[in-house]
């Protein structure tokens, strides 16, 4: 079982503020890193698939960066909105499967 | 477009009873298929994955089993449920191991 860690476990952010959180993963034998958003009462949905060191991807107000040499990825939310409230999961690709972190639960307060 | 179905949505079963959860995918061929479980207060744990018909890889030794009788059908089973089998079960598919995974709506299993 690969060690994929996310921090913090949870955070609260005021509407309009920006925030970021971390995913760390093994730096050897890297293939890809995924980010998913899991809203309450829904299924996880993919945000990003990141494959190259230095990758930076963006979807609306959410962006992610990747450092494969040191084994970490940041996810940023700019100008948080209540609809950004969700658990954000990162997952490390190894062989045919994903190893998920425990997630960071973001709560945006209006 | 592709869709993924899971049923039932919720299930309450007594300890020692059998289990069968079904997952089907539409709109794609030869997908990779996955079963995950989220136990209370924990992250997603991969239980089984399959890269083709009849090919099943198990990640965690337990009293659960999986089968893939058809290309787009993935079944999770147990002969005798334990209390610790309670949780939220998700099925997912992907084009390949590197591509994003698409998740079904999930099954909430409570074992009493």
Spatial separation of the C-alpha atoms in residues B103 and B23, rounded to whole Å: 10
Query: What's the whole-number average pLDDT of chain B?
Result: 93
Bridge partners (DSSP) listed for residue B98: none
3-state secondary structure of B84: helix
Say what the pLDDT of residue B61 is.
66
Instruction: Please tell me the predicted confidence (pLDDT) of residue A61.
Output: 97
pLDDT at residue A98 tops 70: yes
Q: Chain B partners of A96 at a C-beta cutoff of 8 Å?
A: 32, 49, 51, 57, 97
Please tell me the predicted confidence (pLDDT) of residue A29: 84
What integer is the mean pLDDT of A87-104? 90
- How close B78 gets to chain A, by Cα (Å)? 22
Contacts with B14 (C-beta within 8 Å, 6 or more apart), sequence order: B81, B111, B112
Query: In 3D, which of A91, A10, A24 has the Cα closest to residue B92?
Result: A91
**Which backbone phi and psi does A71 adopt, to 5 degrees?**
75, 50
User: pLDDT at position B40, please?
Assistant: 72
Count the residues in chain B: 112
Question: What does the pLDDT average to over A61-85?
Answer: 97
Tokens encoding B15: 């300890």
- CA neighbours closer than 13 Å in the CB half-sphere of residue A91: 32
| Contact between A87 and A100 (Cβ < 8 Å) | no
Sign of CA dihedral B64, B72, A96, A71: negative
> Nearest CA to CA, how far is A39 from chain B (Å)?
12
Per-residue pLDDT band at A56 (split at 50, 70, 90) = very high
Do residue A98 and residue B46 have CB atoms under 8 angstroms apart? Answer: yes
Q: Could you tell me the pLDDT band of residue B88, with boundaries at 50, 70 and 90?
A: very high
Q: Which residue's structure tokens are 């059998």?
A: B18
Reduced 3-state DSSP string for A30-96: CCEEEEEEECCCCCCEEEEEECCCCCEEEECCEEEEEECCCCEEEEEECCCCHHHCEEEEEEEEECC
**For residue A1, what pLDDT band results from cuts at 50, 70 and 90?**
low
How does pLDDT run across B30-55, given as a tens digit for each residue? 999 999 999 777 789 999 999 999 99
How far is Cα B38 from Cα B46, in angstroms, rounded to an integer?
A: 9
Question: What is the C-alpha to C-alpha distance for residues A3 and A86, in angstroms, rounded to an integer?
Answer: 22
Proportion of chain A above pLDDT 70, given as a percent: 98
Identify the residue among B92, B98, B102, B107 best suited for mutation to test binding to A, counting A beta carbons within 10 A and taking the highest. B98
Ranking A17-21, B17-21, B97-101 by mean pLDDT, the lowest is B97-101
């Amino acid at each position: 079982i690969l060690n994929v860690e996310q921090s913090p476990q949870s955070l609260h952010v005021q509407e309009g503020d920006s925030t970021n959180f971390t995913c760390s993963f093994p730096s050897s034998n890297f293939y890809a890193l995924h980010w998913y958003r899991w809203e309450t009462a829904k299924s996880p949905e993919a945000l990003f698939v990141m494959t190259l060191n230095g990758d930076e991807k963006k979807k609306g107000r959410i962006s992610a960066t990747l450092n494969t040499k040191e084994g970490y990825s940041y996810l940023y939310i700019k100008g948080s909105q209540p609809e950004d409230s969700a658990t954000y999961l990162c997952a490390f690709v190894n062989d045919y499967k994903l190893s998920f972190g425990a997630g960071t639960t973001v709560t945006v307060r209006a | 477009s592709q869709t993924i179905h899971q049923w039932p949505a919720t299930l309450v079963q007594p300890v020692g009873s059998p289990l069968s959860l079904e997952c089907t995918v539409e709109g794609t061929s030869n997908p990779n298929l996955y079963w995950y479980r989220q136990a209370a207060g924990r992250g997603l744990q991969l239980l089984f994955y399959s890269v083709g018909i009849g090919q099943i890889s198990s990640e965690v030794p337990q009293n659960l089993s999986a089968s893939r009788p058809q290309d787009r059908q993935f079944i999770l089973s147990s002969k005798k449920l334990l209390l610790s089998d309670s949780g939220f079960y998700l099925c997912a598919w992907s084009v390949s191991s590197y591509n994003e995974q698409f998740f079904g709506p999930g099954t909430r299993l409570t074992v009493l």
